[in-house]
Amino acid sequence: MKERKKTRQIHIGDVAVGGGAPVVIQSMANTKTADVESTLAQLRALAKAGCQIGRLAVPDSEAAEALKAIVPYSPLPLVADIHFDYRLALKSVAAGIQALRINPGNIGSEEKVRAVIDAAKDADIPIRIGINGGSLQKDLLAAYGNTAEAIVESALREVKIFERYGFDRVKISVKSSSVLKTVAAYELLSEKVDFPLHVGVTEAGTLLKGSVKSSLGIGILLNEGIGDTIRVSLTGDPVNEVIVAKEILKDLGLRREGVEIISCPTCGRTKIDLEKMVNEVESGLAEVRPKRPLTVAVMGCEVNGPGEAKEADYGIAGGKGQGLLFRDGEIIGKYKEDQIVSVLVEEIRRNEL
């Protein structure tokens, strides 16, 4: 991996973004913001899953009004997502929101953008300039087509307005639903500005396909040192966005925590029910928060099994109806197939909590 690009640092509530801070995970509630109870419940679920910043759509006055009852009780600092009507941004700020996201392409005149900037300045909160391939200004589309260049040009145009009014607590996103266009836009933008970048592929799709798309776009960029906060965008329960985001950061060595389970794909050599066993290990360890980050290998055969199991902190190398249990590279016992997972979970609970 390349060294992470040095960006300026902003804070959303007490969460630092950019400037060398660890990459931050964020997600967006898909409840009606006006439904205070449901929204708070989802924010709590997101926080529990490991989300660090929450975002709420503010499509109307009712939603902006609800922020007053949400912000003080939210377990996460919140970003109000504003489109079309700049007055909703002003109301969100008045309700105590910790950051704004505007897509200047649909906010309208520079005066309106300026009113939002002034409000944010007074409240001492940052603004995300969130450009989307799907909502570019007409003149940029005419000049560049729907390209990475058009998206970046749109972002730079807004940055100029913000700078003109002396506001630099800015975070930028330049998302597209195309992985390649997203990657190209962030690469280009990262060369041109040192504001912290919010990275994601937009409208990524359903759980599996969306996770692939997000992993590709976010992964390629993080591997190039680009990205200060990430959002995995999936159709459905946003808790899955957080699960996938955590997996991406863990796999890229940007976060070490909890238990990493590795398992073999199973093949004609496998003589135990490995899929069942891995699922049992996953559920047995789901709530386990070990003191140190742990790698647990669950392997089905004698080919790669002992090697991988030895490398891991804990490992199972399966044989016919039984398996070897490893800890820190040493065999600690041989157990029957139907017992080995509970012995493993018990060992980890005893030694690692």
Asked if 133 and 146 touch (Cβ cutoff 8 Å), the reply is: yes
Q: Residue 338: enclosing H or E segment and its boundaries?
A: helix 337-352
Tell me whether residue 70 or residue 119 sits nearer to a second copy (CB atom).
Answer: 70
The reply on whether position 140 binds a second copy by CB under 8 A is no
| 181's tokens | 């266009």
252 binding a second copy? (CB under 8 A)? yes
Phi, psi at residue 271, to the nearest 5°?
Answer: -115, 10
Contacts to a second copy from residues 33-92, by CB under 8 A: 33-34, 39, 55-59, 63, 81, 83-84
What part of residues 309-338 is at the interface with a second copy (CB under 8 A)? Answer: 311
Choose, by CB under 8 A, the member of 14, 124, 160, 265 that binds a second copy.
Answer: 265
Does 117 bind a second copy (CB under 8 A)? Our answer is no
Q: Pick the closer one to a second copy by CB: 206 or 342.
A: 206
Residue 345 binds a second copy, judged by CB under 8 A: no
CA 170/CA 125 separation, integer angstroms: 9
Full DSSP string of 4-62: PPP---EEETTEEESTTPPPEEEEE--S-TT-HHHHHHHHHHHHHHT--EEEEE--SHH
Nearer to a second copy by C-beta: 1 or 143? 1
| Total of chain residues touching a second copy, rule CB under 8 A | 86
Task: Give the sign of the dihedral formed by CA 39, CA 42, CA 47, CA 53.
Answer: negative
Q: Which of residues 186-225 bind a second copy (CB under 8 A)?
A: 202-213, 215-217, 219-220, 223
Instruction: Report, in Å, the least distance between residue 122 CB and a second copy.
Output: 25
Using CB under 8 A, which of 19, 44, 87, 177 touches a second copy? Answer: 177
Applying CB under 8 A, among 65, 118, 149, 247 the residue interacting with a second copy is 247
Contacts of 251 by beta carbon, 8 Å cutoff, 6+ apart? 219
Q: Of 207, 200, 196, whose CA–CA distance to 178 is shortest?
A: 200
CB of 274: closest distance to a second copy in angstroms? 6
The span of 6-14, 87-95, 153-161, 177-185 binding a second copy (CB under 8 A) equals 177-185
Overall residue count recorded for the chain in this entry: 353
Which residue among 192, 225, 267, 334 contacts a second copy (CB under 8 A)? 267
Tokens of 209: 């396909």
